[in-house]
Structure 1
Amino acid sequence: MYLITFAVPCYNSAGYMRRCIDTLLTGGEDVEIIIVNDGSTDETGKIAREYAERFPNVTAVNQENGGHGSGVNKGLELARGLYFKVVDSDDWLETAALHTLLDTLWEHLEQDTPADLYLTNFVYEKVVENARFVRRYTENFPQGRLFGWNEVKRFRNSNVLLMHSMLYRTDKLRESGVVLPEHTFYVDNIFAYKPLPYTKKLYYMNIDLYRYYIGREDQSVNRENIVKRYRQQIRVMKEMLNAYSYRDLNKLQSGLSQYMKHDLGVVMTLTMMFTTGGKENIAERKIALKELWENLRRKDEKMYSYLRRSYPALVNWLPFRLCGTVMSCGYKFFRNKLKCS
């Protein structure tokens, strides 16, 4: 039995994917690695095949280009591990932390106390500048024991759970029915949101497991790229809003309900930030943002009211260009604080 399936979506990743895969291989026979070559035009497929031929726990999959979400979907479809984690091909895991995680999983299985969702820290790594920032959750979660959402403390400001911090039970992911849209960036927001109501038992480990590489010009989280791809950000926002209504969220445990509303507020803020932050196609951007809010008001007026009241979504009441300026300043402050751009 594999404890963890690691899905590694790859697109033209030949220049850096080996570091990622080599760190996953340190998990030994406890881990399964599924490398999804998403229509690459470089040697990504060749490298994936090399690993699959050398290691019995590595599977190489070739598919037509469908985007990051398509790679995650394929990995989940094929996963045989008890738990499932996505590791982007330009990122990597800390070996000592991975061993600590695996030891903990085995201990919990032997005691018949496995969690539905394991949570760890992740590290923003800007290798070029030798700068890093650790995202910890010590103020939000108990440590060293199982807990439920009722014990989760309030998340504040921009702090949310990201895909990098999460290890789901595979059956819980499948039960949630999460399927990520294809040809769309930023779908990790959906992955870190939609399955949450299916997780009842949580366990937080204060270890710096995931290393999140920041700095490539072609990276999807590069500000210029997000501003250009604002429609994809809007699509992700719509998917999240469609997953659960405001009434649905109110039926959940208070800690989970509170967190999921907070998460929506953060993602809505990002959506507004990158829709208003562009200097091109201003008229189209105005229409797209107006349609997002109007559709939400028609479908779920309570959610609409909640998000309109949420800081800093309140800046939406400002004129469009001023809203973009305020949002851009906030983004730059956040990124400088993390030393990520």
Structure 2
Amino acid sequence: MSIERARPGLPSSMSSETPDCIVPRVSVVVPAYNAQETLADCLACLVSQQGLELGRDYEVIVVNDGSTDGTASIASRYPVRLISLERNRGRIVARRTGAEAARSDMLLLIDTRVMAAPDLLKTALGIGHTPLIAGDLGEDKYRSHLETSLYLLRRLIYWPYHPQSRYGRELWIDARNFYRAPKGTGCLLIGKRMFLEALPEAQGKTVNDDTKIFASIVFDKGLPLLRHTDLKARYVSRLDLLNARKWLFQRGILFADFLLFKNALYPALLLAPLVALALLIAGGVVFPMAALAVAGVCFVGYAGVAAWAAENLRDFGILMRSLPWIAAVFWAGAVWGLALKWKARQ
């Protein structure tokens, strides 16, 4: 692991150097893996925060997680501390590395696809509670068919909390609503000690770090999470279909790691495609008409889910086209995640 300081050609007012005698109020940790698509915009937002002075009030730490693209080169253009890992270790290790290197006892964890509002740090520190999650990620429902579908699915899964703008300014998450409330560590203010203590023992790339960290805080420490709409950022979703599929597959793996058996409905949904396929094959061989009936029931059920999730006819059309491949990729990831867990126990 090497640590570099990136400040070529920068004015002194934007120096990345923070004297050892100065302890910043907050350390911003940005894990980055092959993030050249969005990293420049992300860092531009972070190094120009209003009401706080970079280098005195806050520092920005970029952890280059073994990237093979231009991530390190882009980070080197900004007044940040750049930590480079020799190989890709995954987000948990990258965040832990950044947290351990942080000079402040307060961390803001933010992903490279999250564009901070100009006053995000000032607002976060002013709210006065940790852990604090951004409640307004500027979702653009119709940016892509994937974005539309995910928005509508979250609305179903996290009702009545999503979108939070319809629920309320503050969403307190505790043991009572933990599994029904939206939460993520893409933009999170948290104490350094709390974060390091909440990290799961297993820290590989297939570990569901978001939910396990929050579960440790809520259930083990008995502390509530606060999701606040005053904490604003903009999430840049994946438009490239290949990257979107990779992301969905990974989300399926992470789902299997922790959440799959937290609700009796989830294993049933995972098994349903296999049961339907078996019935179709068996029916096609023995009773062809029965196979058609099963296919018809599956289609009606699928259309019913799309109609239930949709807010209008446009939504319904998008879901009818997009939901099958989204569900298939996520399902495949969940099955693969189960296989990985089974293999690890052998």
TM-score bracket for the superposition, by shorter chain length:
0.5 to 0.7
User: Percent identical across equivalent pairs?
Assistant: 17
Write the distance in 2 (CA, Å) between the matches of 1:7 and 1:327: 43
The residue number in structure 2 matching 1:297 is none
Superposition pairs of residues 50-199 of structure 1, within 5 angstroms = 50-51=77-78, 55=79, 58-102=81-125, 104=126, 115-126=129-140, 129=143, 135-136=163-164, 139=167, 154=177, 158-164=180-186, 166-179=188-201, 181-184=203-206, 187-197=209-219, 198=221
Instruction: Specify the SS of the correspondent of 1:73.
Output: helix
Following TM superposition, by how much is the alpha carbon of 1:11 offset from its aligned partner in structure 2, in angstroms?
1.5
Which of these residues, 4, 7, 15, is aligned with residue 37 of structure 2? 15
> Would you say 1:333 and 2:324 are equivalent positions?
no
CA RMSD, 1 decimal: 4.7
Whether the 8 Å CA contact 1:37–1:62 is kept in 2: the answer is yes
CA distance in 2, matches of 1:73, 1:65: 14
- Does 2:53 correspond to 1:30? no
Does the 8 Å contact 1:34/1:60 carry over to 2? yes
Q: Which has the larger radius of gyration?
A: 2
Aligned equivalents of 1:137, 1:186: Cα separation in 2: 27
- Between 33-42 and 161-170, report the one with greater CA deviation: 161-170
Flag the 1:39–1:330 CA change in 2: closer, same or farther, 3 A. farther
CA distance in 2, matches of 1:71, 1:128: 32
SS of structure 1 residue aligned to 2:76:
helix
Distance 1:278 1:166, change over 3 A: farther
> 2:137 is paired with a residue of what secondary structure?
strand
Asked whether the equivalents of residues 114 and 234 of structure 2 are also in contact (C-alpha less than 8 Å), the reply is yes
* Distance in 1 separating the partners of 2:89 and 2:310: 31
1:305 matched residue in structure 2: none
Contact 2:114–2:187, Cα closer than 8 Å, also in 1: no
Query: Offset of 1:334 from its aligned partner?
Result: 7.4
Q: Which runs of 5+ in 1 are unaligned?
A: 109-114, 242-263, 284-320
Number of aligned residues: 255
Query: TM-score by structure 2 length?
Result: 0.56
Matched, 1:234 2:234: no
1:135 Cα offset (Å): 3.9
Q: Is the CA contact (8 Å cut-off) linking 1:14 and 1:47 kept in structure 2? A: yes
Q: How has the CA–CA distance of structure 1 residues 223 and 43 changed in structure 2, closer, same or farther, with 3 Å as cutoff?
A: closer
Q: CA 1:278–1:219 in 2, change beyond 3 Å: closer, same or farther?
A: farther
Shift of 1:23: 1.1
One-letter amino acid of the structure 1 residue matched with residue 114 of structure 2: D
Q: Which runs of 5+ in 2 are unaligned?
A: 1-22, 152-161, 279-296, 323-346
Q: 2:234 aligns with which of 206, 211, 214?
A: 211
In structure 2, distance between residues paired with 1:19 and 1:117:
25
User: How many Å separate the matches in 1 of 2:47 and 2:307?
Assistant: 36
Which residue of the partner structure matches residue 308 of structure 1? none
Q: CA-to-partner distance for each residue in 1:246-272, whole Å, 9 max, x for gaps?
A: xxxxxxxxxxxxxxxxxx449x84x87
Amino acid in the other structure paired with 1:333: A
Q: Is the 8 A contact 2:123 2:231 kept in 1?
A: no
Which residue identity is paired with 1:48?
A
